Amino acid sequence: MIMRCYDMQLLLCNELEALADSLPSGVNRQRCQYLAGAVYPLVASAHEIEEELLFSPLSSFADRVPDMPSTLARLRLEHHSDLCFAEELNDILLAFGRGDDLMTPNAVGYMLRAFFEGVRRHVAFEKEILVPLLLLVQPLSRSAS
């Protein structure tokens, strides 16, 4: 389930990158509207899954991994920042999809890139470091029971 969660976030990043690449002249305004409605719920749902399936079990192994509490705190802060950014993107994409000129296409593209690059880094860290760590410690917790 966690890998599906990562796949969905990366698909969203690909969609946002395609939109950013289409600026300024190739904008599909209907696609902007769709992405506006998808970005916040998808990010919020992914964060809930990550915190339940990954952060929660790993937090119980702080005695074996001393930096785990600070790492998880940083990742939770990233979740909060990403959610705030997703909410802002929702508003910008809705306006851009309507044709409102609240921001220049360059500013929208910059904002999209900042968001999806941050999400990709976050997902990569969790996939490359936390998921393998969880797979190492879960068998330990089962044998201790």
**pLDDT, tens digit, for every residue of 69-98?**
999 999 999 999 999 999 999 999 999 888
What pLDDT sits at residue 143?
42
The parent domain of residue 134 ranges over: 2-144
Q: Tally the domains of the chain.
A: 1
pTM: 0.88
Residue 125 corresponds to which tokens in the numbers above? 């860290």
What pLDDT sits at residue 139?
61
Helices (H), 51-130: 56-59, 68-98, 105-125
97 HSE (CA, 13 A, CB side): 15
CA 50 distance to own-chain centroid? 10
Which residue positions in the chain have pLDDT lower than 50? 140-145
Using DSSP, state whether 53 is helix, strand or coil: helix
Rounded CA separation 51/34 (Å):
26
Side chain identity at residue 18, one-letter code: A
Q: Report the length, in residues, of the chain.
A: 145
What pLDDT sits at residue 145?
41
What pLDDT sits at residue 8?
96
